[in-house]
Each structure stands twice: as C-alpha cells, then as structure tokens.
Structure 1
Amino acid sequence: MEAVSTDNTLNGWVERLGSRALPAMALTRQRVMQLLDSPNTTHADLQRILSRDPGFTLAIFRLFNALPQPPREPVSNLAHAIALLGIEPTSQADRALPDLHKQLSAGARAALYDCYSRAGHAAWYAYSWGHDLRLGNPEEMAIAALLHDLAEMLLWTYADRQMGQLTALIKDGMPQTDAEEQVFGFSLRHLSLQLAEQWNLPPLTAQALQPVGAFQARSLAVMLASALARETSRDWHSEQSGELIELAAAFNRLEPDPGRAYIHSLVAGVARNLSGLPLPLTVYALLSAPTAGPSGQAVASAPTASAPTQAPLPDPGAMDADTVPIAAAPKPAAPVKRPEKPPAPPTAGASPLQASLSRIFRELRRTAGVERAMFAMLTPDRQALKVKFIVGVEPDSPLEKFQHPVGERHLLTLLLKKNQSIWLQESNREKLLPLMGEALRTTLDTRGFFMSSLFIKNRPIGILYADRVDDILLDIQGFNHFKSLTQRLCNELSRKT
C-alpha cells in the first residue's frame, strides 16, 4: 500500500507515517479475541501473546498518546501498559488494526513477515540477555528490540515501491547507507528514531537507535540483538554472523565456544516462542552446513533486502566497569546463567524430608523439563500450606513467600483430598483457573505447571509444585517424570517415618 505525498524529506515521511498503524498477524488477533472473551485472562496472558507481534505492541503503546492525561512516568512493560489502559482500549486496538495477510501484496507481505521474524528473534535475545545479566527491566529491552526496525516495517507496509528500489540497489552491491540516502534522502534508523520519539515509545526504544546508546549496557544489548537477528537471517555461517556471535558471547561474559552454544540455545527458544506464526525461523538455517567456496572456506549467501543501518558497536570487553556491570561471580562454564536462589545443601543433621526433597528436586530439574520447584507443607494446625523448600526462584519471587489457606474450596483443597497430580495446560486452563483464585493466579505460573499432593501413610502433608519461567511449554514426558518422582518421594518418606 503506497503512502501518497510530495514531501520526501525526513519530516515529510514522519508526518506521513505518524497516523499509520502497523498491521497485526491473524493468529495474534485470534488469540487476543479468545483471551478477551475469557473471564480468567490476566494481563500477563495478553502480554505473552502481544509481545510476539510488533503491530499489536506498537498499537498498545501508541494508545497512551491519545489519553487526555497520559502517565507521568514512561510505561515500559506491556502487562503494565494493558493494566493502565484497561481491556476496552485493547479490544478497540484489535478491531482497528489492519490484517497483515489481507492488506499487503505478496512481495510486501513476505518482506514484512521477514521483518517481524527478525524482530521476534531480536526481542528474545535482548530479553534473555537482560534477564540473565540482571540489567533491569528485560521486558523493556524486548520491546525496544521488537520495534528497533520500526521504519522498515512501516515502509514495507505503506511504501513498498520505494522499498523495492532499496532492495534492488543493495542486491546490486550498493552499501546500505548509500542506498537509503539515494532512495529516501535519509537513513531509516533516523526515521525510526523520529517516530519512536513522536509516539513516546518506551525510552529504551529511542536510546537504542542513537550512537550514544552503544555505550550503555541495556541499549547496547538491543542494538547487538537486532544486528545479530538481521545478519543471521541472511546467513548463520557468514563472517559477519561469526563476529556478532563473538560480540554477543563477550557481552554475556562467555568464552567463544560456550557463548556460541548459548546463542544456539536461544535460537531454539525463539522457534518455540514463535511457533504457529507465519514467520521464517533461522533455527533451520542454523542446522544446515555452511556453503563452501573454492578454497574450502565458508562463504556467506547473498544478502536479502534489509534496511536500517546500525550504530557502530563497541567492543564489550573495552567498556568501562561503570557502563556494563561486572559480575562478582566467576564466568560460568555453561551458558545457563539464570540467577536464582540455590537450595541449601543437606547437612549430616538434615531431616529425611529435606534430604529427600533436595535429591528429588535435582532430578526434577534434570529430567522433567522444569526450572522451579517448591514443596509447600501443611502447617501444624493443617489450616494452610506454607513453602518449606524451594529451588530455582529468582530474588523476590512471590513463590518464595508462598502461603495459602486450605479451608475453602479451591484447587489446593481438592488436590489434598487424595494422592493425585495435575498438569495445567492449554486444554484444561479454562476449567482450572476458576478454582485457583486471584492469589494463586498471581503467584503460580498460569501458562503451565505441574502440581501433586504428597501423602505419607494415607495422610496429606503438602503439595509439590514445578514450572519453568521461560516460554518453553511443559510436555507429557516431563509430566510423567514429575509423577514418577513424586510417587518415589512419597514412598521414601513413608519408609523413613
């Protein structure tokens, strides 16, 4: 769809695109409608769906511009944004957004799907790095990465003829910056920056579009994630991809080999997160062997059309300690670095319960595909469940202070009536969520968890709970391991009491 105007200056394009919306993907709209129709939907549920779609994410934050009294402090979290706006504006956005598949011609549609795919990859990388390095507000980092190539997305939607010209020049070998200047008269990064500032997008979005942002850890992560997503969408085995992977490893304080393994694990996570969406996934290209040239050296495939140039990325190892926080702990040997509160190792005087739980929890995390595990024990008066032993939680997690009464009818009470296990998943969520109540829904992970009652000699003593904090779904194999280990724990405790 072409945007018609005679003003081809940067300001002219800002004005032309300032009232335009990015289209949303059909599956996002379908899932949003389902969630809005459900009385048990939480803001976090909506965030998980919307955060994969640049069109919907942009629409939510732009709604604040239309408020008579916008928030004084910047809103940088989708769940917080939805909470402040309320459900009705979100529903209006769903109805007003153009449909990506219906609106664009075949060529522009494919190009925009490529943009959305790179955005989804970059957002996953940025969030993971922010989370693992404790850089603060990784959700804002994900949003900044998702919307980093904002101008390119809008131009493929409303100016695909000019974007086709840009593509042709790049394929003919013209440097990207020169091609952008020739077609538009400015860089697309500058257009993204102007739009981000006009729409008051989360501050990090604009910071990551400015050269000075390369000297701050959070904005550097966004820039690096976007550059990595762009280059690896062309060729995982190119020299440029190799350099960016090394930079990402250094940024995450990893040696090259474990750093590369860490990046590869994130790519697999992206594939799971974007599953079902009509977006190309780079994990398949990663699995293919590099193309060998005449000399036997790996060569890059032909670059695809791409738009905004990145600000130069400094060497993360050369940055000041005041800019990028240095971890006090030594560099991990493996790429799993999620901060958590470790369990206290059982001592010689540990109780049979503590010793058994420590051993079972280690096996749960190794075989059942879970990251967090909690044992909540009935209090002496048997009126409440209270956390007794927990592993895998982050600092200040609500799960760390779990306590819930059992006198009323809810999921925990029903679970304690007999020795049984449940797996909260998509197929039974609508049935089980009404039994949980607000306190449980805000403490437990309503995307999915395993839970089992623990009985010793036909008497309930508590519940065992396990989940994972990322978007990787639990599966039937993990549930079977969970049930087996839970039963083994009950048998061990029965023999020892």
Structure 2
Amino acid sequence: MIDQPLPTLDDWVAVFTNAAIPILPASVAELAEMRLMEETRGNVDAHMLSQNLGGDPLMTLKVLMQVSQDCHRRHVNSPETLTSAILMQGIGPFFRANESVISVMEWLKDHPDALSGLLKVIKRARRAAHLAISFASHRQDEDADMIQEAALLHDFAEMLLWCHAPALALTMAQRQKADHTLRSADVQQEVLGVELADLAHALMEAWQLPELLIKNTDDRHADHPRVKTVLLAVRIARHTQYGWDDPHAQAALPDDIADVAQLLTLSEESARRKIMEIDT
C-alpha cells in the first residue's frame, strides 16, 4: 500500500501500470459460475460475459487493459467496448487471463473505510453510466454503448487510489466532505501531488487503451458533444452523491440542468424532469 504521495506523475504511473486490479465480489462469483457453464455446456459467449460483468468498472478496465496491450503487441486497433474486447480475446483465453482474480472485499479487508469509499465511487460511476447512456440515446448517438462505458470508467484512477493508497484517498474524501466548496483538483494536488484526471489519462496511454475511450474521458475535449455527455453525467452523479437535497447539489444542479438542456435541446424544466426520471 502507498501511504505517502509519490514525487511525480511518472512515479504514480509506474506504480499503477502493473498494479493488481481487484474486482467486485459479484464479478468473482459470476466468473466462477460462467467458467463452470462454459466447461460443462460450452455456451458462454462475449455478450453474456459483458452483460454479467459490465456493471463492474474495475473488471471492465481489467479486460480492456489486457486486450489493448495484446493488440498493441500485434499492431492492431484496440476494441472499444467490453463486448468487443472479450470477442477479440476469445472465451477460452478470457477465462485463462482471469483465472486468479481477487475481490475488493478481500483486497481491502484490513481497510474497511477504504472499502466503503471505493464502493461509493463505484456506485457513483454506475449512476453516471446510466445517465450517460440515457442522454446519448436521447441524442440518437450511434456510440451510446461507448459513451456509457466512458462514463463508467471516468473515475477509475480514484478507484485504484482507494485500492492501493487507501489512507491518501480517505484523507481527500474527508477534506471534501467537510468542505464541499473545495475543488477536487486542488485537494488531489495538495494530497497526492498530481491530479487524478492527469493520472487517468497517462495510465490509459500507457495501457494503449482505445483512442476513442481516451478522448471520451478527457475533460480537455469538453466541447465535443460525446465528451460533454460523459462529463455532464459524471458531474451530476458526483454533485448528487449525498442526495438531491444536499446543499452542494442544490447549488450545483441549476448549471448542470442548463447544460443538459442545451445538449439535449430541451427546456430547462424538461431537462430537470428527465434527469430525475433517469436517476430514479
């Protein structure tokens, strides 16, 4: 475990590039069940695996990383979704690559506060993914699945931080909960010496993840409609993580709703109703 900030962004990237990625307990159980199903019936396919594992951002990241690095070695383009990654990998190789997985419960058994923090980030990521695909579907975007996945993975660096530097992650969470006016980037810079957005971008580059995924999770491309869809979904999920009636949410939501209204070409009242309907 990392208990002190590392000197540079390159140092953080070096540590996380080959770090273990634990997954949700439900994913561990699903893997075991589907491995048995494949061994006995031979009827497991990429869609089934993706459907059962796709709600786990850590598992999704793990598979995309495995396949993208293999694609880079073979000089072929990386697949852009979990389904296409498993399809390219093949069912047998997929199970072999994920034979020795560990759950976050086991990984963080000595850090209950970190486990709680990680699960909150994953819950937030799932809400963001749900909002993102709903916005993308409204816009009839042909890459709605890719946008959903980008929203699910947007905060993966924070998830890895909870796994590998739980004390630092907890310090950041406590500071922001005590003062909602603090900018996340400022707290990250103060506690870690880097911003998580920069770390995430550098890791995706190091893992050779697909360019479209990298772009769709990059805040620097915020003017592009697909990136804006992802970022708005992430913003709303983050602003309302302590409830819709939280003072921070009440302060931030008017701007969020106005931006959603513009993106979806709706009135602000229609945008507000749509967001509430999606989230409930």
Matched, 1:202 2:214: no
| Residue in 2 that maps onto 1:142 | 148
Shift of 1:61: 0.7
Aligned mate of 1:50, from 43, 48, 53: 53
Seen in structure 2, the aligned counterparts of structure 1 residues 142 and 37 have a Cα distance that, compared at 3 Å, is same
SS at match of 2:222: helix
Would the aligned equivalents of 1:119 and 1:148 in 2 still touch at CA under 8 Å? yes
Seen in structure 2, the aligned counterparts of structure 1 residues 16 and 4 have a Cα distance that, compared at 3 Å, is farther
| Partner Cα separation in structure 1 for residue 150 and residue 134 of structure 2 | 13
Structure index of larger Rg: 1
Q: How does 1:68-467 map to 2 (within 5 A)?
A: 69-70=73-74, 72-104=76-108, 105-173=111-179, 174-237=182-245, 238-268=250-280
| Partner Cα separation in structure 1 for residue 276 and residue 4 of structure 2 | 44
Partner deviation per Cα, 1:216-273 (whole Å, 9 max, x = no partner): 11111111111111111123131213431332233222222332222222223xxxxx
| Partner Cα separation in structure 2 for residue 249 and residue 32 of structure 1 | 40
AA matched with 1:110: S
| Residue in 2 that maps onto 1:15 | 14
Matched, 1:64 2:72: no
Would the aligned equivalents of 2:236 and 2:253 in 1 still touch at CA under 8 Å? yes
TM-score (ref. length: structure 1): 0.50
Would the aligned equivalents of 1:23 and 1:55 in 2 still touch at CA under 8 Å? yes
Would the aligned equivalents of 2:79 and 2:88 in 1 still touch at CA under 8 Å? no
Seen in structure 2, the aligned counterparts of structure 1 residues 70 and 132 have a Cα distance that, compared at 3 Å, is farther
Seen in structure 2, the aligned counterparts of structure 1 residues 21 and 137 have a Cα distance that, compared at 3 Å, is farther
**Runs (5+) with no aligned partner, structure 1:** 269-497
TM-score (ref. length: structure 2): 0.87
Would the aligned equivalents of 1:101 and 1:109 in 2 still touch at CA under 8 Å? yes
| Partner Cα separation in structure 1 for residue 185 and residue 275 of structure 2 | 28
Considering Cα pairs closer than 8 Å and 6+ residues apart, tell me whether 1 or 2 has the greater RCO: 2
More helix by proportion, 1 or 2? 2
More strand by proportion, 1 or 2? 1
Length, aligned pairs only: 267
Q: Percent identity?
A: 25
| Residue in 2 that maps onto 1:29 | 28
Q: How large is the RMSD of aligned CA atoms in angstroms?
A: 2.1
AA matched with 1:45: M
